[in-house]
Amino acid sequence: MKFKITCLQMDIAFGSPNKNYQNAEKLIDEAMTEKPDIIVLPELWTTGYDLTRLEQIADKDAGNTIRFLRNAAIKYQVHFVGGSVANQGESGVKNTLLIINKKGELVHSYSKLHLFKLMDEHLYLEAGDQEGLFELEGLTFSGVICYDIRFPEWIRTHTAKGAEALFVVAEWPAARLTHWRALLIARAIENQCFVIACNRSGSDPNNEFAGHSMIINPWGEVIAEAGANEEILSAEIELELVKDIRKQIPIFKDRRPDLY
């Protein structure tokens, strides 16, 4: 099965959800000229890393963002890997990825498992404790958030259960662009899956972000890559390639989980 994927590499307005909803609406409308099956947004796209004000600007139960994505999904008949949002729950704020299908249904939510202490996430966010596996159109995918890609065992947890594409949403800094590219390519090769990584562009008061959203095939070949600025990135993926490569080099059959 083929899917047209479009990543919205947004320049996020720091701590300004209304501005970010408006920009996302404009970019989604522009992206539909590519006729995508799935649109992907970056990490914390409604607030950016304005962590010290999350109690004021976080989205209560992700309600506003779910409604925004639901309306867009139904209007355009497109699936959303809806980036992640600062999700205010009863016990605190989580960094939560939202999957909305083209019927406007919330298919899955995944809260970031590995909090990045270098950007003080552990001081303002609660870690998640659930897997990122989800299904669209009967196919199994997985979604993770930014720092998660430095934990190959976490990614393998999902691909060992059948995920054929890994969606990564991020606010990855420009200072570690080399790591971003190398880690994403490695995750694609070692898991024999597509990797669709949507990063943000621009800067905030403390960071400059890398952009360079990427779509990578299971051989580790980059089939589409954005630059550093705000950009709409699209490519088609053919999921049959995953099955073919996994037959050629049967790493999942050859694993020795009895020893590791």
- Residues labelled as active-site residues: 43, 112, 146
Query: To 5 degrees, how large is the angle CA 231–CA 211–CA 61?
Result: 85
- Show Cβ contacts of residue 224 under 8 Å, excluding neighbours closer than 6 positions: 214, 215, 233, 234, 235
Where residue 254 falls (left for φ over 0; alpha for ψ -120 to 50; beta otherwise) is alpha
**141: closest CA among 242, 249, 46, 257?**
242
In this structure, the number of other CB atoms found within 10 A of the CB of residue 232 comes to 19
Distances (CA, A) of 244 to 5, 193, 239: 21, 11, 9
Distances (CA, A) of 198 to 40, 124, 224, 253, 256: 7, 23, 11, 30, 32
> Per-residue b/e over 89-115, b at no fewer than 16 CB within 10 Å?
eeeebbbbbbbbbbebeebbbbbbbbb
Query: To 5 degrees, how large is the angle CA 58–CA 214–CA 197?
Result: 35
